[in-house]
A and B are shown apart, each in its own frame.
Chain A
Amino acid sequence: GQNIDQPTEMTATEGAIVQINCTYQTSGFNGLFWYQQHAGEAPTFLSYNVLDGLEEKGRFSSFLSRSKGYCYLLLKELQMKDSASYLCAVIRSNDYKLSFGAGTTVTVRA
């Protein structure tokens, strides 16, 4: 099976930085995804990491350490519209099964 752990909630101020950590245990790791989901809506793709290191995409960056089973999503220059749930997901190489963590609800305050 796969165990994916991430914090339940985080709160930050507009303009600040927030780091969402995620740890995972899986067999046949084939990549890690971050999705953003606003309340009542479908998740949308943010980032994908398959090799160790940092992937930067505008205000969002994602980091992966495969040996530690650890990753994080970094949100910079927070905006009110960034208030959402952020889902960490791991995909396996043998069956391409994608499993999600419970999600981290980020609240951005003025």
Chain B
Amino acid sequence: DGGITQSPKYLFRKEGQNVTLSCEQNLNHDAMYWYRQDPGQGLRLIYYSQIVNDFQKGDIAEGYSVSREKKESFPLTVTSAQKNPTAFYLCATGQPSRGANVLTFGAGSRLTVL
């Protein structure tokens, strides 16, 4: 089946630790996105990538890092510099060249800092 796989679904982290959230897609989409969702605040864009080996900061990139070494993969690292990392993280893919660029979302990863 074509889709987006995010792992892990739930993750607990101690303060001061870096964690990496995985996002893998087999939709053959060029663009990939990471959003963070907090209660009452909707989705906020962290990083996005329109092509392999290239990515841009979104609205809240501080304390996060990404890489795009393969078209299928766009991992997000939450570093210890992120002061309030507890949130629901959503990965999405899209195909801007096809006009509407409807995003498809993964099931999400819920990170809790203890």
Q: A42-B90, A42-B107, A42-B108 are in contact. Are A101 and B42 (CB under 8 A)?
A: yes
Residues from chain B with a CB closer than 8 A to the CB of A43 are 43, 90, 103, 105
Is B33 in contact with chain A by the CB < 8 A criterion? yes
Which residues from 66 to 110 on chain A have a C-beta closer than 8 Å to any C-beta of chain B?
87, 89, 91, 95-103
Q: Do the beta carbons of B107 and A98 come within 8 Å of each other? A: no
Interface size on A, residues (CB 8 A): 23
Is B101 in contact with chain A by the CB < 8 A criterion? yes
Most buried by A among B33, B43, B104: B43
Is A60 in contact with chain B by the CB < 8 A criterion? no
Is A63 in contact with chain B by the CB < 8 A criterion? no
Residues from chain B with a CB closer than 8 A to the CB of A96 are 31, 50, 94, 96, 101
Is B56 in contact with chain A by the CB < 8 A criterion? yes
Interface residues on B, range: 20 to 34
Q: Do the beta carbons of B48 and A97 come within 8 Å of each other? A: yes
Q: Do the beta carbons of A87 and B43 come within 8 Å of each other? A: yes
Residues from chain A with a CB closer than 8 A to the CB of B108 are 41-42
Residues from chain B with a CB closer than 8 A to the CB of A41 are 107-108
Q: Do the beta carbons of B100 and A48 come within 8 Å of each other? A: yes
Contacts across chains A and B counted by CB atoms under 8 Å: 54
Is B85 in contact with chain A by the CB < 8 A criterion? no
Residues from chain A with a CB closer than 8 A to the CB of B35 are 100
Q: Do the beta carbons of B56 and A95 come within 8 Å of each other? A: yes
Query: When A and B form their complex, which 8 residue pairs have the shortest distance between CB atoms, in order from nearest?
Result: A42-B105, A102-B42, A100-B43, A96-B96, A100-B42, A48-B100, A103-B42, A45-B102
Q: Do the beta carbons of B100 and A50 come within 8 Å of each other? A: yes
Is A13 in contact with chain B by the CB < 8 A criterion? no
C-alpha spacing A8/B35, complex, angstroms: 20
Residues from chain A with a CB closer than 8 A to the CB of B94 are 96, 98
CB<8 Å pairs between A and B, sample of 9: A1-B59, A43-B103, A87-B42, A96-B96, A97-B45, A97-B58, A98-B101, A98-B103, A101-B42
Residues from chain B with a CB closer than 8 A to the CB of A103 are 42
